[in-house]
């Protein structure tokens, strides 16, 4: 496996109907741990994630991986805030990315079975995915994201609509993957989650990166007033 990182973003911008959604963003992300993007609603967290992932159009600037674009893209997964369930069984959902990559069906299903068990859905591989609870669906989405053994996984507020227990289980899976060396880049507006998971923090506001810092430094002594206010629980727009 050759290194994708550091990821270098310079002057990246994306628009919609003439309005700048995000940018210009300058950012450099190293190859380890978890980066947590925090910020108020509408500050561009989701858009920044899709921009880095390559699913939002880059109107200006550059986003450079240390590998050709297609290689980089194949080593990434994305987990959505509201998981998309294919109209198939749990097992088929998890096996899907492997099947699309040309893995033989028996092999893909066997690997999927492992992953299903690993995220705690081992009791229900044949259940229709759409019948799962919100937490179970998100766990399925994680298994589906990790099954391709990506080098980096983007997660857009993965626990936004979940209760404490599901959140804890999902964070455990994420910690585990982080320990295995998978790079995580996730957005959240749950500051507690940011504290638990982050190695470094990107604070966004109004479509711009307002502050970046290692997690410890950011949570102890943020440089900007807005970040300080946000951490204090004040309303920041």
CA distances from 176 to 34, 171, 173, 182, 210 (A): 12, 8, 5, 9, 30
Least Å from the CB of residue 195 to other proteins? 28
Q: Whole-angstrom Cα distance, residue 216 to residue 36?
A: 12
Instruction: Answer yes or no whether residue 73 interacts with other proteins by CB under 8 A.
Output: yes
Rule CB under 8 A: which of 101-140 touch other proteins? 127-128, 131
Least Å from the CB of residue 160 to other proteins? 15
Q: Whole-angstrom Cα distance, residue 72 to residue 123?
A: 34
Interaction pattern, residues 22-61, with other proteins; x per rule: CB under 8 A? -------------------------------x-x------
* Choices 29-37, 73-81, 193-201, 229-237; region in contact with other proteins by CB under 8 A: 73-81
202: part of which helix (H) or strand (E)? strand 200-205
Q: Whole-angstrom Cα distance, residue 87 to residue 98?
A: 17
* Choices 69-77, 110-118, 189-197, 203-211; region in contact with other proteins by CB under 8 A: 69-77
Least Å from the CB of residue 2 to other proteins? 19
Least Å from the CB of residue 97 to other proteins? 6
142: part of which helix (H) or strand (E)? helix 134-146
Pairing status of strand 152-156 against strand 34-38? unpaired
What is the size of the binding site for other proteins (CB under 8 A)? 17
CA distances from 21 to 186, 206, 230 (A): 19, 8, 21
* Choices 32-40, 85-93, 166-174, 197-205; region in contact with other proteins by CB under 8 A: 85-93
**Which phi and psi angles does 50 have, rounded to 5°?**
-65, -30
Residue numbers of the site for other proteins (CB under 8 A)?
Answer: 53, 55, 73-74, 77-78, 80, 84, 86-88, 96-97, 100, 127-128, 131
């Amino acid at each position: 496996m050759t290194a994708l990182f550091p990821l270098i973003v310079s002057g990246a911008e994306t628009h919609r109907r003439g309005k700048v959604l995000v940018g210009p963003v300058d950012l450099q992300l190293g190859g380890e741990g978890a980066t947590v993007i925090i910020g108020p609603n509408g500050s561009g967290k989701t858009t920044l994630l899709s921009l880095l992932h390559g699913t939002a159009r880059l109107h200006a600037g550059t986003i450079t991986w240390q590998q050709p674009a297609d290689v980089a893209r194949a080593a990434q997964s994305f987990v959505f805030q509201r998981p998309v369930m294919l109209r198939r069984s749990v097992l088929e959902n998890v096996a899907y990315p492997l099947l699309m990559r040309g893995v033989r069906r028996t092999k893909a299903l066997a690997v999927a079975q492992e992953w299903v068990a690993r995220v705690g859905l081992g009791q229900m591989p044949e259940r229709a995915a759409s019948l799962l609870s919100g937490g179970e669906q998100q766990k399925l989405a994680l298994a589906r994201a990790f099954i391709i053994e990506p080098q980096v996984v983007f997660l857009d507020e993965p626990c936004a609509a979940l209760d404490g227990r599901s959140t804890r289980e999902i964070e455990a899976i994420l910690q585990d993957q982080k320990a295995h060396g998978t790079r995580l880049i996730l957005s959240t507006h749950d500051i507690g989650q940011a504290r638990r998971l982050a190695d470094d923090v990107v604070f966004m506001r109004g479509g711009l990166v307002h502050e970046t810092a290692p997690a410890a430094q950011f949570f102890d002594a943020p440089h900007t007033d807005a970040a300080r206010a946000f951490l204090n629980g004040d309303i920041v727009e």
